[in-house]
Structure 1
Amino acid sequence: MPVSLVSDGEGPALPYDSEVHTTAHRRREGGAVAQQIPMVDYLVLGDSPHLVANECTDCGAKFFDRRNACASCGGTSFKKTDIATEGEIRSFTIVKAFMPGADDYVPVVVDLGGTSVRGQLMNTPAEAANIALGQKVRLTTYSIGADTAGTEAINYGFEPVN
């Protein structure tokens, strides 16, 4: 049964919205954090949010989705492994929105300790002067909305390390 999402009064919490208040920001500011559910199965929430991958025990390849066999070596044994929360931008593009009211945004590929992760760059203007290959970033979480019971759906993105 689909969950109907409603605004929390702060406007849309989209990955490219520069005014998004991350979960960590709300905690630092003493704000209440409702019951939360991760948007993807491999996002672990809590005081130290992080991603968890399935690592092939034969070759060490890492995958975020469930696998019956390793795409690299054909192995069938996997273990859960935590992924680093800080890394570097390896690829990015600035997407210019043409719809009125839509913001530009920056999809990125980030190297987190040898694991490539796709996401959105957040909390920085979507301008070339603010983004660079090799730039240090860290994992962050943000609310994408809440249902009428106050349960928040939480996704992840990346923000520059200052």
Structure 2
Amino acid sequence: MVDYLVLGDEPHLRARECSHCGALYFDRRNACAKCFRTEFGTRALSNEGRLRAFTFVTRAKRPYVSAIVDLEGGGVVKANLLEVDQPGQIRPGLPVVLDTVTAGTDDDGTEAVAFGYRPRGGDQ
């Protein structure tokens, strides 16, 4: 559902990286917000990270956890935390791993794929 999610054998996120200072961005940029240079490349980001912050969102029909994840090797991403339904199951610093989920299917049977993070096995 987003252009920075790369699907395939090993799904991962891809960010635009400033060629001068290394700042990472998921959106299109004309210039780097950190150093103001205009040259960018792309970089595959780690599928593993640690939970920086989270909140339980209960306004939806089905509550979910919105999270901020610090990725190993650089990058920060906001995403839903998957497979968690109780506050006692998570804490800041919890190791997490990228996972993909089917977000829906259109009338032609094409699946929309989204991403989130789940606690790394054995680390809950």
CA displacement at 1:87 relative to structure 2: 0.5
- What runs of 5+ residues in structure 2 fail to find an aligned partner? none
Aligned length: 120
Structure 1 residue runs of 4 or more that deviate by more than 6 Å after TM superposition: none
CA displacement at 1:150 relative to structure 2: 1.3
Larger Rg, first or second structure (1 or 2): 1
**Partner deviation per Cα, 1:68-115 (whole Å, 9 max, x = no partner):** 100011010000000000110001011223x6xx22211000011221
1:77 and 2:39 are equivalent in the alignment: yes
- Rounded Cα–Cα distance in structure 1 between residues aligned with 2:113 and 2:49: 21
| Equivalence map 1:18-97=2 (5 Å) | 39-97=1-59
**Partner deviation per Cα, 1:36-86 (whole Å, 9 max, x = no partner):** xxx001000111100000000110000001111000110100000000001
Question: Match of 2:106?
Answer: 147
CA displacement at 1:148 relative to structure 2: 2.0
Higher-RCO chain (CA-CA 8 Å, sequence separation at least 6): 1
- What runs of 5+ residues in structure 1 fail to find an aligned partner? 1-38
Which residue identity is paired with 1:130? Q
Which residue identity is paired with 1:132? R
CA displacement at 1:124 relative to structure 2: 1.9
Normalising by structure 2, what TM-score?
A: 0.92
Aligned Cα root-mean-square deviation (Å): 1.0
- Rounded Cα–Cα distance in structure 1 between residues aligned with 2:63 and 2:105: 24
Question: Match of 1:29?
Answer: none
More strand by share: 2
Give the secondary structure class of the aligned counterpart of 2:88.
Answer: helix
1:110 and 2:69 are equivalent in the alignment: yes
